[in-house]
Amino acid sequence: MPVFTQNVNPCGLTALLRLSVRPSPADLHIDKRWDGMVSALVLRVLQIETELWRLSTLGGAASAMGFFSPQFTQYAFMISVKQLRLAFLVGDPVLVSRCFLYISLAFAQKGCYRPALKILRLARMGQRQGARVHVFAQLRSRRLVDYKMDDEKQKSCSTDGELK
């Protein structure tokens, strides 16, 4: 039963207005086809969100181990790409830019700083202000913004989807 309540305050007086609408039994038709479509959509979004949570936990662990073994860096990169695909399905721009951050961190862990910065610049141009603030706050905390890399190390890095 929808109820509308509003406090009206003209000239310092307070009045309470309450409007109550009761539906008639003829208005209580349940559209089962529409209910099934909405339920399937909600279930799909929840499954994608659950998978994103799992991948985030696994990617964080792999990224933490990436400082000790390059195999974990490659694994964290692949997890970040899977997260990015799911983030595009969800359509959340903050989540998409966080996935770009994770991918650039995988490149940075491998020592490929130019592709990492290029990815961040592209994400910066394509996302809204709130997402950029989050990405660059994380980047500044890792001190990668002003880092310059020599050319010998850059030759071993590629941006074709695989870290070498």
Q: What share of the chain is helix, strand, coil (3-state, %, to 5)?
A: 65, 5, 25
Alpha-carbon distances of 89 from 46, 49, 95, rounded to whole Å: 12, 10, 11
pLDDT for the residue numbered 88:
87
Query: Residue 18 is encoded by which pair of tokens?
Result: 């309450």
Predicted TM-score (pTM) of this structure: 0.58
pLDDT for the residue numbered 151:
39
CB 158, CB 69: distance < 8 Å = no
Give the model confidence (pLDDT) of 80-122 as tens digits: 999 999 988 888 888 888 888 899 989 988 888 888 888 888 7
CA distance 116 to 142: 12
Q: What is the CATH number of domain 46-154?
A: 1.25.40
CB 97, CB 131: distance < 8 Å = yes
Q: What is the average pLDDT across 138-157?
A: 47
CA distance 164 to 116: 14
The answer to whether residue 49 scores a pLDDT higher than 70 is yes
At 2 the three-state DSSP class reads: coil
pLDDT tier at 10 (50, 70, 90 boundaries)?
A: low
If one compares 146 and 156, the residue with the highest pLDDT of the two is 156
